[in-house]
Structure 1
Amino acid sequence: MAWNTEETRRRLKEAAVREFAATGLSGTRIESIAARAGINKERIYNYFGSKEKLFSLVLADELARIAAAVPLEMITSAGIGEFAGACFDYHVQHPELVRLLHWEALEFTERRVPDEDVRREHYQQKVAALAAAQRSGTLAAEPAAADAVFMILALCAWWVAVPQVARMIAGTPHPGAPEMAARRAAVALAAERMVVAPSPR
């Protein structure tokens, strides 16, 4: 029977996401990824070259997924509040992305990430979209577009990024649907208040 290369790659990347999210780049072992996927570890080297390249690839894939799930067009079509709310929803459903970014920060604090130029372009598209909305008057001119993008992304992710802090502040160790809906609404409201231009009186 022919070996299904694409299926093998998919299984290895899914296993890598979980392993890297749990233990980071330095803490993850190739053997652990292979064991989780049920595939010989040599195929990781054959397909991806190294653990570092695999980490960069799975993080790039996860960033592409959120970009597809929460497109930039939402900033103008649905409003900045709904864009922030949709980002919040995505992080709640896919907490691995925030964890991967945290591990990346620890590994690459003082050096460039492997695909930094591509990633920079990804984020600059968000900045440009928000800046265009500022120029059109849809959004307030301040804060600056880059600052606003960074703060909105932080708003969307921080509940998931530091659940222990959320537990201590909100007093809800196991938040249910009502609590999560309230958090989403608060994120959307904060994003709107941060950048939506006030209505003329």
Structure 2
Amino acid sequence: MAWDTERTKRLLLDAATAEFCANGLAGARVDRIASEAGVNKERIYQYFGRKDELFDVVIASQLRRVMDEVPIEGSGPEALAAYAGRLFDHHQADAVLPRLVFWEGLERGDHVVDRAERTDRCRSKIDRTLEALPGVSREDAADLLLTIIALCDAWAVLPELDGLMVARDEGRAARRRAVVVATVRLAAQSLVDDVAPA
């Protein structure tokens, strides 16, 4: 029987994603990843190299997926507000990327995986923001995107802080989403107002 390499890689990536989300790069264990995938750990080294290289593959694949799945659509401040709402929804349903990015920042500082590709993807998101908000400076568009990411990612990775500040009940996520969307709408409108002719 032939070995299904692609299936094995997928099992390993899925197990590695869960392990890195829960424990970060330093706390993740290759033995646990292999066990969860039902694969001999030598396959990890064969397909991905060292543990930190496997982390690189996991985070790069998650970033590509989310950046493609959650586009900026439409124009004007409402487009950025809607984008923030969809990103919030995505991260509430699937907190994998926010957790990985936070681990990356905590454990690696300014070391970035696939810097060239990620820079291109970020440039593309900024370009799309500039299309939605004509006249806004590139720096302001980038700052707005960073604000959106910070607002949406924080909800997924800092639940205890939210719980300390606000009573957690059935409607809490919807209320937080509304605040994020309103904040982004106001910020985007402010940028547009700043470039509007007097």
Summarize deviations over 1:139-196 as a string: whole Å, max 9, x none.
x669811111111111122111211111011121xx42x3222221221111111012
Matched, 1:56 2:49: no
- Which of residues 143, 148, 159 is equivalent to 1:147? 143
| Correspondence 1:108 to 2:108 | yes
- What TM-score results when the alignment is normalised by the length of structure 1? 0.87
Q: CA separation in 1, counterparts of 2:85 and 2:143?
A: 18
Stretches of structure 2 that go unaligned for 5 or more consecutive residues are: none
Distance of 2:41 and 2:82 partners within structure 1: 42
Separation of aligned partners in 2, 1:16 and 1:82 = 32
Retained in 1: the 8 A contact 2:31–2:41? yes
Aligned with residue 187 of structure 1, among 177, 180, 184: 180
After TM superposition, the structure 1 = structure 2 runs for residues 35-184 of structure 1, keeping only pairs within 5 Å, are 35-72=35-72, 74=73, 76=75, 79-110=79-110, 112-135=111-134, 144-172=140-168, 175-176=169-170, 178-184=171-177
Task: After TM superposition, give the deviation of residue 6 of structure 1 in Å.
Answer: 1.1
Equivalent-residue separation in structure 2 for 1:54 and 1:94 (angstroms): 20
Equivalenced residue count is 192
What's the secondary structure of 1:3's corresponding residue? coil
Instruction: Tell me the TM-score normalized by structure 2.
Output: 0.88
SS at match of 1:76: coil
Q: Which secondary structure state, in structure 2, belongs to the residue aligned with residue 135 of structure 1? A: coil
SS of 1:130 mapped into structure 2? helix
Listed one character per residue, the Cα deviations across residues 127-146 of structure 1 (whole Å, up to 9, x for unaligned) are 2221233325xxx6698111
Letter in 2 for 1:4: D
- Gaps (5+ residues) in structure 1? none
State the identity as a percent: 37
Structure 1 CA distance for aligned equivalents of residues 60 and 16 of structure 2: 13
Shift of 1:82: 1.1
| Structure 1 residues 2 and 143, CA gap change in structure 2 (3 angstroms) | closer
Q: Distance in 2 between matches of 1:68 and 1:153?
A: 15
Task: Give the counterpart letter for 1:114 in structure 2.
Answer: V
Distance in 2 between the 1:21 and 1:135 partners?
Answer: 37
Q: Distance in 1 between matches of 2:130 and 2:161?
A: 32
